[in-house]
Amino acid sequence: MTKVELAEKLSRKLNLTVKETTEIINIFFGEIVDALASGDKVELRGFGSFRIRHRAAREGRNPKSGEQVIVPAKVVPFFRMGKELKELLNK
């Protein structure tokens, strides 16, 4: 499902325009991104939680040339499913 498809479904259920619903979705995801960027954890009970993980620098290999390269340290988002979502998906 794309963001546009989500907006269309929500707009029908909430009797809002697709434009209004898209704005709500953008604000919602923007708040999640802002929280993660400031180092906070975002927990949506029953759905799951988002947090960041720090990946250390490591030695990698260029698949084309086989040459060893240094992969720099980075921060990556991480999602863990909530109990209810996990149970729904694993029926």
Report how far Cα 10 is from the mean position of its chain's Cα atoms: 19
H-state helical runs in 1-91: 3-14, 18-37, 83-89
* CATH topology classification for 3-89: HU Protein; Chain A (4.10.520)
Residues 79 and 42: their CA atoms lie apart, in Å, by 10
Spell out the per-residue pLDDT of the chain, length 91, in tens.
999 999 999 999 999 999 999 999 999 999 999 999 999 999 999 899 999 999 999 999 999 999 999 999 999 999 999 999 999 999 8
At CB < 8 A and 24+ separation, what contacts does 28-31 make? none
- In the chain, what are the domain boundaries? 3-89
What pLDDT was estimated at residue 91? 81
